[in-house]
Structure 1
Amino acid sequence: MGAIYLVRHGQASFGAADYDALSPLGFEQAAAVGAELRRRGVEFSQVRSGTLARQRDTAATALKELRSAVPVVEDARWNEYDHVDISAHHAGGAPQEDSRAYQSLLDAALAAWVESGDAGPCAETWPAFRSRCTAALADLVASLGKGEHALVFTSGGVLGAVAGALTGVPEAGLLKFNRVTVNTGITKLTSGRGGVNLVSFNEHAHLEGEAARLLTYR
């Protein structure tokens, strides 16, 4: 049975001029998840990443630690939703100043985004986002040979949408799963005769114990 490992990117630069850049801590997290994947001894036949800088840099750093020479295929369908556009239309353009306050506003904005459906004012609606995430997963699954494993570097909203779809609650999944994803958390799916199944969500043992200082949510 094949498996797909979905990894959330490392910590981005919240509040900075370029949010998409990995923070110094984000690079450390990326190296830590690479070491964890190497420890598991999984051989990956395919590696995918979104096109955002934080996703690509997490992939490059983790793969160096993993010592994998498998080329990364970039696919924009693994990109995160546009939090700036969503907050502009549904939260009055909340500034990125205080992380906790911003998270509360973003949660409310995401709920409104989901509720607005296809009629929403954002450039990408919730149904469109959900469809492209599940399509990216379906295409990856279809490309895997029997028993092959794939690794994907993506974002929390994509993980929430995918996990929600696989558990039959896409809307609630986005809102609940997305909020608790940790930077470089690992979500594992299996693919076989029974379809695609969610085996684990948001694993982050590599960010506990002596590495606890690396644990972040934003």
Structure 2
Amino acid sequence: MGVVYLVRHGQASFGAADYDVLSDRGEQQARLAGLELVRREATLDHARCGSLSRQRATAAVALAQLASAPTVAQDPRWNEYDHVDIAAHHGGGAAQDSADPRAYQAALEDALAKWVAAGESSPCAESWPRFLARVTGALDDLVSVLGKGEQAVVFTSGGVISTLCGALLGVPEIGLLSLNRVTVNAGISKIVTGRSGTTMLSFNEHGHFDGEAAGLLSYR
């Protein structure tokens, strides 16, 4: 049975001029995610990440904790949806505001719901159906190269992970619109694949932020 670990990137720079930069807290979160993989004695044969800076930086920090890790292959299909484009076309141009992240999150969730409902008629550069096809294709291709008993890790984003987990449950839209809001930075989801197909075994595990590390837990 093959295993795919989906790791959400560490905290980015919410509200800053360039969101796509791993914050100091994000680096600490990435380190803990890597140590969690060590604790699980993960024997990684493949590693992937998107091309976004926060995803690549999380991969570098996390995998540095392992005694041996495969070279990370970048694949932009693991990139997050374009929240700026979606907010511009379906959310009245709502912008990140570090002083009121809850208000922005509410506006983004409303925009995402409208984006999904619009389907191919969305004016966004990437529609919901195309996003769904992109991320499911990335997972399918990764699963296809897993040998018997091999393990892979992917450093990606909350929307990608929640959509894929929702798709494996048969409801990708619910995954994006409901699971996405509870994904934690540097959380780990586990997918297994074998003769019976590909199955989500766990979603959004974050026990590595229990105890003394509780202060590092974040969602955005």
TM range (shorter): over 0.9
The residue number in structure 1 matching 2:131 is: 129
Q: In the TM superposition, what is the alpha-carbon distance from 1:67 to its structure 2 partner?
A: 2.8
Runs of 4+ in 1 over 3 A off after TM superposition: none
* RMSD over equivalenced CA pairs, Å: 0.6
* Equivalent position amino acid for 1:20 in 2: D
Please list the CA deviations of residues 136-191 of structure 1 after superposition, one character each: whole Å capped at 9, or x if unmatched.
Answer: 00000001101100000000000111011100011111101111100000000001
Q: Is the 2:45–2:69 Cα contact (8 Å) retained in structure 1?
A: no
Aligned-partner Cα distance in 1 for 2:175–2:160 = 10
Q: Deviations over 1:23-44 (max 9, x none)?
A: 0000000001101100110101
Q: 3-state SS of the aligned residue for 2:173?
A: helix
Counterparts of residues 151-170 of structure 1 (less than 5 Å): 151-170=153-172
**In the alignment, what sits opposite 1:188?**
190
SS at match of 1:7: strand
Shift of 1:135: 0.2
**SS of aligned partner of 1:65:** coil
Identity %: 62
The one-letter code matched in structure 1 to 2:89 is H
Partner of 2:26: 26
Aligned residues between the structures: 218
Query: How far off its partner does 1:69 sit?
Result: 3.4
Among 143, 162, 180, the alignment partner of 1:178 is 180
The aligned runs of 1:1-218 (5 Å cut-off) are: 1-97=1-97, 98-218=100-220
Q: How many angstroms apart in 1 are the aligned matches of 2:38 and 2:63? A: 9
Structure 1 unaligned spans of 5+: none
TM-score, structure 2 as length reference: 0.98
> Which blocks of at least 5 consecutive residues in structure 2 are unaligned?
none
Q: Does the residue aligned with 1:45 lie in a helix, a strand or coil?
A: strand
